């Protein structure tokens, strides 16, 4: 199915990407050549600053790899600068309720009249786009992914989904299990994940999930998850190197 990432998410297409924890445009370039559907720059758990994001965004556009970013912080003023660099969207951790979701969407969509507007950055072709064209293009294609990874958020799923500019629930199973004080994996965690999936179906919001290994994708896709962040660049490198060195003992 062709189209931009937001269109593909909203259509429920199976999409597979990974986290990028290394501040390197070369990693982004390689993942793009490998044919991933998207990647998420992990500013929450990786040492990646704005200038490094600039070069990674440049690489992503060179190979046509949609990039999202996630990072820490209760405030949402980090979002617009990343979209200005040309990122496709954001994945925001620990979204608890409707107010959180509204604040994120305010920071992304120009139509909400709160995001600073200028077509001068890369996202506006350095002024090559008119203000109306830039505003419309950005609002149509920018992706808003809200992470559901706290037990208290499970009571607000319908309200979060009702925020019309939210494109996806993304389940963080490690943090969710910690918040619930259950094992990862565990039946209790699976029940919570199922509740999120059902809320997504009920409200027409796509659901994504982190998995540590691609072998987990098929089973969760059958249950209604359509987007998967599978491991990370570091995990892919470590796994490949470990397998290579195992040849010494073969």
Give whole-number Cα distances, 184 to 18, 93, 153, 160, 243, in Å.
20, 18, 18, 25, 25
pLDDT at 249: 84
pLDDT at 211: 98
pLDDT at 72: 82
pLDDT tens for residues 39-56? 999 999 999 999 999 999
Q: How far apart are CA 71 and CA 82, in angstroms?
A: 11
Kindly write down the DSSP assignment for every residue of 112-123, as one continuous string. GT-S---S-SGG
Q: How far apart are CA 42 and CA 15, in angstroms?
A: 18
Contacts of 11 (CB under 8 A, 6+ apart): 1, 3
Q: What pTM, to 2 d.p., does this model score? A: 0.96
pLDDT at 1: 45
pLDDT tens for residues 171-189? 999 999 999 999 999 999 9
Q: What is the full per-residue pLDDT of the chain (250 aa) written as tens digits?
A: 468 999 999 999 999 999 999 999 999 999 999 999 999 999 999 999 999 999 999 999 999 999 999 998 878 999 999 999 999 999 999 999 999 999 999 999 999 999 999 999 999 999 999 999 999 999 999 999 999 999 999 999 999 999 999 999 999 999 999 999 999 999 999 999 999 999 999 999 999 999 999 999 999 999 999 999 999 999 999 999 999 999 998 7
3-state SS assignment for residue 210: strand
Q: Which residues are paired to 77 by β-bridges?
A: none
pLDDT at 202: 97
Going from N- to C-terminal start, the domains of the chain cover 5-249
pLDDT at 2: 62
Quote the Cα angle for 141-222-12, to 5°: 15
Superfamily of domain 5-249: Phosphoenolpyruvate-binding domains (3.20.20.60)
pLDDT at 74: 78
């Amino acid at each position: 199915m062709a189209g931009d990432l937001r269109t593909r998410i909203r259509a429920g297409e199976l999409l597979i990407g990974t986290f990028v924890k290394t501040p390197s445009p070369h990693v982004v370039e390689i993942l793009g050549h490998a044919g991933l559907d998207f990647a998420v720059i992990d500013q929450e758990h990786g040492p990646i600053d704005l200038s490094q994001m600039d070069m990674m965004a440049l690489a992503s556009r060179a190979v046509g790899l949609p990039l999202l970013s996630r990072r820490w912080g209760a405030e949402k003023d980090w979002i617009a600068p990343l979209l200005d660099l040309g990122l496709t969207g954001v994945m925001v951790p620990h979204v608890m309720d409707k107010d959180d979701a509204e604040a994120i969407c305010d920071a992304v969509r120009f139509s909400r009249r709160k995001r600073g507007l200028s077509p001068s950055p890369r996202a506006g072709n350095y002024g090559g786009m008119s203000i109306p064209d830039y505003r419309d293009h950005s609002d149509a294609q920018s992706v808003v992914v809200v992470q559901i990874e706290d037990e208290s958020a499970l009571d607000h799923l319908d309200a979060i989904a009702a925020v019309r500019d939210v494109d996806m629930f993304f389940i963080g199973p490690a943090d969710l299990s910690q918040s619930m004080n259950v094992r990862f994996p565990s039946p209790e965690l699976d029940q919570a994940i199922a509740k999120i999936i059902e809320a997504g179906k009920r409200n027409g919001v796509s659901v994504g999930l982190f998995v540590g290994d691609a072998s987990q994708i098929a089973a969760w896709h059958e249950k209604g998850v359509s987007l998967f962040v599978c491991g990370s660049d570091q995990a892919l490198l470590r796994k490949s190197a470990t397998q290579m060195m195992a040849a010494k003992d073969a």
